[in-house]
Amino acid sequence: MIAMVDERQIVISASRRTDIPAFYLDWFMDRITRGYFEVPNPYNQKVSVVPATTDRVHTIVFWSKDFGPFLKQDIGDKLLRRGFNLFFNFTLNSEVPLLEPRVPPLAERLRQLEALSRRFDPRVIHWRFDPICFFRSENGERQHNLVHLDRISEVAARAGIQRCITSFVDLYAKVRKRVARLPGMRFEEPHNGRKIASLLHMEELLRAKDITLSLCCEKELFESLPPGSRIGQSSCIPNDVLAAVYGGKLSLRKDSGQRVRQGCGCRVSSDIGSYRDHPCYHNCLFCYANPS
């Protein structure tokens, strides 16, 4: 059965479920040419038709850990010439191969961030340092992935990036099962005091570079922050920002399909990815979308 989406102008999310800019640009551009996406619901496989024409779509929001193919193929310019507005969520973490074995080297990802900011308004680029991970490796050493935060933030600041969004790893059952197969490796769940201390350190470091820090789906932590903190709650799909930058009117209703009770501030959008049809090949150890 096929269901049509609402007739108003929409925001396309491309995509929370996979990395389209890294792996599925041919498929994406083919559907743009067709003028619609057919998207299966991940729970009941019911197919929705999402329009892909400029009269129906206000903005396309891209999520990726590797914008290299997107930049190399000039996908942004091709979409701009068609009349689409664009927004970017660039997840750019420290270089820790154990956690993210198949993302490009950090130096390459930093070059991509600089290239994006030269071509597009930095206001439409969010840097996501996500998730923060504390873990023990095979040798028993306690580690975390904040090691390159200063280096990344220096490049982001020079590029004009104004916002960093972060959260802590969620230890889903599939993540625990995946990690259990690695000898000696395990994620650690720090107590809230340690998490807040980490966040306040991040906030101080980023504030010195005029970058604000926001939390994604961390309502309990947000409510536990000290009064002087300026850390906010994030909206990775910020329809208010999209309307302010590009004009037009968009629904500011929160996306009920996301983790609103946990603090998700994303506004309503239509996600076009598929866990089943578009597997992500970054193979990140902590990823909820990785079935392996």
Residue 288 lies in a domain: no
Structural domain contains residue 279: no
pLDDT in tens, 213-270: 999 999 999 999 999 999 999 999 999 999 999 999 899 999 998 999 999 999 999 9
pTM comes to 0.94
CATH number at residue 137: 3.80.30
Count CA atoms closer than 13 A to 274's CA, side-chain side.
Answer: 16
290 in a structural domain:
no
To the nearest whole number, what is the mean pLDDT of the chain? 94
User: How many separate domains does the chain show?
Assistant: 1
**What is the C-alpha separation between 24 and 55, in angstroms, rounded?**
24
SS3 call for 86: strand
Any domain includes 249: yes
pLDDT 10s digits, 67-82: 999 999 999 999 999 9
How many angstroms separate the CA atoms of 160 and 153, rounded? 10
Residue at 287 is within a domain: no
In a domain, 277, yes or no: no
Spacing of C-alpha 246 from chain mean position = 21
Question: Is residue 51 assigned to a domain?
Answer: yes
Cα Rg of the chain, angstroms? 19
* Domain membership of residue 119 as a residue range: 2-271
Can you list the alpha helix ranges (DSSP code H) found in the chain?
20-23, 25-34, 68-72, 75-82, 106-119, 149-158, 173-180, 192-207, 219-224, 239-246
The reply to whether 225 falls in a domain is yes
Q: What is the three-class DSSP state of 178?
A: helix
> pLDDT of 93-121, one tens digit each?
999 999 999 999 999 999 999 999 999 99
